[in-house]
A and B are shown apart, each in its own frame.
Chain A
Amino acid sequence: MPLETLVRPAGADLAAAGDAPAASTLSRYQSDGVAIDFTTPILANARVRPAETDRLEVIVADLGGGKGSYVVPLRHLGKIVTLTVHDRTLCEEILHRNANAPDEIRRAVLAVARMGLAGAKAAKTARQAIADEQNERLLTTVFLIHRAINHAGGDPAAAGPSLNVLAEEANRSQVKAQLGQVAQSVRMTGDQVYAVLEEWGAIVGGVGVPGMPLDCRLRRLARQVDELAGQLRRWADEEISYTGEHARRVADSAQQVAARAARQIAKIDAFAVATVETLRRWKDTQRTVRAAVSDLAWILNGWEANLRRWRDAAQVSREEQQKTVSEVMASMPPRLAAGTLETWSGEAFALSRRGSRKVRAHQDWKTGAIDFDVVRRLESLKEHVL
């Protein structure tokens, strides 16, 4: 297939190009695509999004160093760019899973990293992340059951079974019996309530419920993004070059995202607070809860990678930190990078992006050969536990 039919240049203003609807800010988030951790240097800031044809496409920033973006079908990515084995496997995995939401893409990335294709340390981190996710889901379910039993009792002081008891597989029938009271009030059987709570726990496992002793992944991520904003501001105060301004802009963006995520988390938590009400109308609320969690994942999409980059930069010289800030800036969708939603194109935009793309030494990105020094650096980002 000739290249021209595969690659379609897109303007810097992707959302306005008519490629995707911009009905609400959330769908704008979606039109930016899902950030994905490829290890091929040129794809370091690539994003994936569903195309009009139900297939997936990859948004690649400025192959030639300009300010535009390219949109390439995921299936044909390997024909445009020489991919690392890790990325070839990842593309297969994404197509196989038909993944297109942040959480699904993340799971595909973890599955490939777990194989060891990004190195032994990244594999270990991925295994840990997968296990953590499972545990968080289980713990969330246990907390939901705990809430349901206590709520039905009406008196929070007359606590139901302890969490340890609930967590034991052997006590399941006993737990179901204790759910009887709440089951009656929502006109279900104990088994049904148990099944609903399990389903609910699986949906909100990434967020958890209020009052848990540990923050689940997305809740933790939201907090870390908020902290990142503070760290970047402090860093910017000591910075005299224009990178300081970039850091402030990233910080602004991080703060906006964190605030939005906090509101979204409060919305998800509200369902858990009104446990009985949610159970009673589970058929309807289920969809709402699922959508709310998915929205949260979209809002926080891409910040995990930025946190990893920043953590990686903590141990290096100031100059490397400047490069990292520029990288984070370059990895952000143009709209977010420009700060406010209104100023993401035109002269002000071009000015705001000036110098945001610092090329690291020895990047063979225009020759087509893969620079494995850069690949190693990208792989090492996957080793950080967040």
Chain B
Amino acid sequence: MSRDSHTLEEIRARLFDLSEAQFAELVAYVERAQASDAGRSFSAEALAAMRPRLRVARPQRRPNAERIFCRPFEDLLHDLPAAGKRPGRIARRAIRPAWAVLSRRLDGRLLAAVEREARRAGADAVDWATQSWSSLWNACGEAANALLAEADGDSAARADLRKKLGGADGLAELADMARMMTVAPHVEELRHVLSPAPLTALDEIQTAAVSAQFGALAAEKDTLWGPLAHAVIARMADPVALAHAFGGSDCRDPGLHFLGSAAAGIAVADIDATVAALGGLPAESAPAALDVATHGEAVADRIARLREGLRDRRFAGSFAEIDRVQRGLRTAVSQTVIAGADAAVAGALGEAAGAARAALRENAEARAHALWKCSRFAGAIGMDREVVQAARAVEDAAARIALDRLKALERAGADAAAGAIDAAADDLIHAVRVVELVAGSDKADLLRRRGFDVLDRLRAA
């Protein structure tokens, strides 16, 4: 397996080096490996490693029955590792078990026909509007509903299905997939009217097309508008945009109004899921601190827009819910970015030497960098004071330790070893870089000047 893991590393590292054509070729190769038992797990891992580029490049994938089944909800797929069913989204990990259960219930002739047609279509010229595929979606929807109905009536069947799908979340995901199957033809209609995800806003033509699809389903709006709304929302970069546009009571189109209201709910749920993922990151870790700081900025921005829309009555929602999400983000920031930042900086200016010291310093700089990033959105989530205090603590620790070391050398006078002076100069530069991040260039330059003055005196002596 070591050769495979090496190959995976290679794929990860060189993901963006390949040309489009080479990448498409690689995807095709990895997918062919899926056919053999030996290659299956490698293929799955390789595709996971290639996911970042797959998401950007979207090469034509070789169609097969499973992929055709996924098509109506492919925009809804997410990869967050945290457990829990997210409204309006489907976890990618739920596909495999769900398809395993469903495909066993399907008519073998239908499956064979679909596979045959998929093979004939090849990757280049796929005509997705083919009739037999919508019959596959119908069959899958019916099978899923039948399974869920059986499970509802019989506790033993329920336990069995739960086990096969990997828990209660799996059941909920299957139910969502079934709902998406029922609106699959309408999603297909919209697919090429809407540009590929992420869309920032719907223009007039797109709005009209979406409205028409909602209108077509008006008779069954209680059951079918929900999944159709999910499909549209999944295309958007930020659902709040839809909520702003159509969530208000002044929206005359009932379908679009439904879409706007659903978008507000999903926006909150999305942010909630991201915040939960950030809250699960380990404390005292520089990469985690940078993650929280980077995503925190985007999340804080979304929270602010939600709050603004709510205040202007652009859509309905609860301030308490938004406050709860914001509290979650604050907890994540204070646990991963703020807590222990000064200790990390002080530790990097400690006695460690060599590679250990280099690692500590890199860590300390990353922590200071995360703190700087957080200072940019701290005001928006009401953390001004905490972040400023943490920055000051880091600044004090760095400046004090670096200057103390220099002063100690000065007191030692002629006894100070040349090596010790160089080490103290190194510490000073590191401290200057940390102070520059948390307190700005002016203060950092002041520290540098003070330090250099002492160093000049020491070197002259």
Chain B proximity of A79: nearest CB distance (Å): 13
A120 x B444 contact (CB < 8 A) = no
Partner of A117, one of B19, B358, B365, B432: B432
Which chain B positions have C-beta within 8 A of A116?
426, 429-430, 433
* A34 to B370 Cα, complex, angstroms: 34
B432 x A372 contact (CB < 8 A) = no
* A120 to B334 Cα, complex, angstroms: 28
Which chain A positions have C-beta within 8 A of B319?
none
B448 x A315 contact (CB < 8 A) = no
Contacts A85-B436, A238-B19 given: A117-B429 contact, CB under 8 Å?
A: yes
B128 CB within 8 Å of chain A: no
B220 CB within 8 Å of chain A: no
Chain A proximity of B103: nearest CB distance (Å): 36
B448 x A84 contact (CB < 8 A) = no
Residue of B nearest to A364 (CB): B376
Q: Of residues A85, A115, A238, A376, which shows the largest number of chain B Cβ atoms within 10 Å of its Cβ?
A: A85
Residue of B nearest to A376 (CB): B369
Main secondary structure of the interface of A (DSSP, over half): loop
* A88 to B430 Cα, complex, angstroms: 16
* A120 to B433 Cα, complex, angstroms: 11
Which chain A positions have C-beta within 8 A of B186?
none
B7 CB within 8 Å of chain A: no
B189 CB within 8 Å of chain A: no
* A269 to B425 Cα, complex, angstroms: 42
Contacts A116-B426, A372-B369 given: A88-B432 contact, CB under 8 Å?
A: no
Which chain B positions have C-beta within 8 A of A89?
448
B445 CB within 8 Å of chain A: yes
A317 CB within 8 Å of chain B: yes
* A373 to B441 Cα, complex, angstroms: 14
A43 CB within 8 Å of chain B: no
Contacts A116-B430, A117-B432, A117-B433 given: A85-B17 contact, CB under 8 Å?
A: no
* A316 to B52 Cα, complex, angstroms: 12
A82 CB within 8 Å of chain B: yes
Interface size counted on chain B using CB atoms at 8 A: 25
Contact residues of B between 443 and 461, Cβ < 8 Å to A: 444-445, 448
B314 CB within 8 Å of chain A: no
Which chain A positions have C-beta within 8 A of B373?
373
* A304 to B287 Cα, complex, angstroms: 31
A115 x B17 contact (CB < 8 A) = no
B445 x A88 contact (CB < 8 A) = yes
* A323 to B441 Cα, complex, angstroms: 28
* A82 to B445 Cα, complex, angstroms: 11
Which chain B positions have C-beta within 8 A of A238?
19
B369 x A85 contact (CB < 8 A) = no
Which chain A positions have C-beta within 8 A of B429?
115-117
Chain A proximity of B394: nearest CB distance (Å): 14
Which chain A positions have C-beta within 8 A of B440?
370
Which chain B positions have C-beta within 8 A of A82?
441-442
B246 CB within 8 Å of chain A: no
A314 CB within 8 Å of chain B: yes
Contacts A83-B441, A85-B448, A88-B441 given: A119-B433 contact, CB under 8 Å?
A: yes
B437 CB within 8 Å of chain A: yes
Which chain A positions have C-beta within 8 A of B16?
315-318
Which chain B positions have C-beta within 8 A of A318?
16
A85 x B19 contact (CB < 8 A) = no
B361 CB within 8 Å of chain A: yes
Which chain A positions have C-beta within 8 A of B56?
317
Which chain B positions have C-beta within 8 A of A115?
425, 429
Chain B proximity of A194: nearest CB distance (Å): 33
Which chain A positions have C-beta within 8 A of B444?
85
B140-176: contact bitstring with A at CB < 8 Å (1 yes, 0 no)?
Answer: 0000000000000000000000000000000000000
Which chain A positions have C-beta within 8 A of B433?
85, 116-117, 119
B17 x A84 contact (CB < 8 A) = no
Chain A proximity of B12: nearest CB distance (Å): 12
* A115 to B426 Cα, complex, angstroms: 8
Which chain B positions have C-beta within 8 A of A317?
16, 56
Residue of B nearest to A379 (CB): B433
B372 CB within 8 Å of chain A: yes
Partner of A315, one of B17, B365, B437: B17
Chain A proximity of B120: nearest CB distance (Å): 31
Which chain A positions have C-beta within 8 A of B442?
82
* A119 to B429 Cα, complex, angstroms: 9
Which chain A positions have C-beta within 8 A of B321?
none
B370-384: contact bitstring with A at CB < 8 Å (1 yes, 0 no)?
Answer: 001100000000000
Residue of A nearest to B52 (CB): A317
* A116 to B362 Cα, complex, angstroms: 12
A85 x B361 contact (CB < 8 A) = no
A333-356: contact bitstring with B at CB < 8 Å (1 yes, 0 no)?
Answer: 000000000000000000000000
Chain B proximity of A48: nearest CB distance (Å): 20
* A343 to B362 Cα, complex, angstroms: 48
Contact residues of A between 362 and 380, Cβ < 8 Å to B: 370, 372-373, 376
Contacts A120-B362, A315-B16, A372-B372 given: A85-B430 contact, CB under 8 Å?
A: no
Residue of A nearest to B53 (CB): A317
Which chain B positions have C-beta within 8 A of A315?
16-17
* A315 to B17 Cα, complex, angstroms: 6
Which chain B positions have C-beta within 8 A of A373?
373
Contact residues of A between 143 and 159, Cβ < 8 Å to B: none
Residue of A nearest to B442 (CB): A82
* A89 to B445 Cα, complex, angstroms: 9
Which chain B positions have C-beta within 8 A of A120?
358, 361-362
B426 x A84 contact (CB < 8 A) = no
Contact residues of B between 16 and 54, Cβ < 8 Å to A: 16-17, 19
Q: Of residues A116, A238, A370, which shows the largest number of chain B Cβ atoms within 10 Å of its Cβ?
A: A116
* A314 to B15 Cα, complex, angstroms: 11
B279-310: contact bitstring with A at CB < 8 Å (1 yes, 0 no)?
Answer: 00000000000000000000000000000000
Residue of B nearest to A117 (CB): B429
Which chain A positions have C-beta within 8 A of B19?
238
Partner of A85, one of B358, B426, B441: B441
* A3 to B78 Cα, complex, angstroms: 53
Which chain A positions have C-beta within 8 A of B426?
116
Contact residues of A between 102 and 156, Cβ < 8 Å to B: 115-117, 119-120
Given contacts A85-B448, A120-B358, A120-B361, 19 further A-B contacts (CB under 8 A): A85-B432, A85-B433, A85-B444, A88-B448, A89-B448, A115-B425, A116-B433, A117-B433, A119-B365, A120-B362, A238-B19, A317-B16, A317-B56, A370-B440, A370-B441, A372-B369, A372-B436, A372-B437, A373-B373
* Residues of chain B having any CB pair with chain A under 8 Å: 16-17, 19, 56, 358, 361-362, 365, 369, 372-373, 425-426, 429-430, 432-433, 436-437, 440-442, 444-445, 448
Q: List 13 A-B contacts (CB under 8 A).
A: A83-B441, A85-B445, A116-B433, A117-B432, A117-B433, A119-B433, A120-B358, A120-B362, A315-B17, A316-B16, A370-B441, A372-B372, A373-B373
Which 3 pairs across A and B sit closest by C-beta, in order of nearness?
A: A116-B429, A317-B16, A85-B444
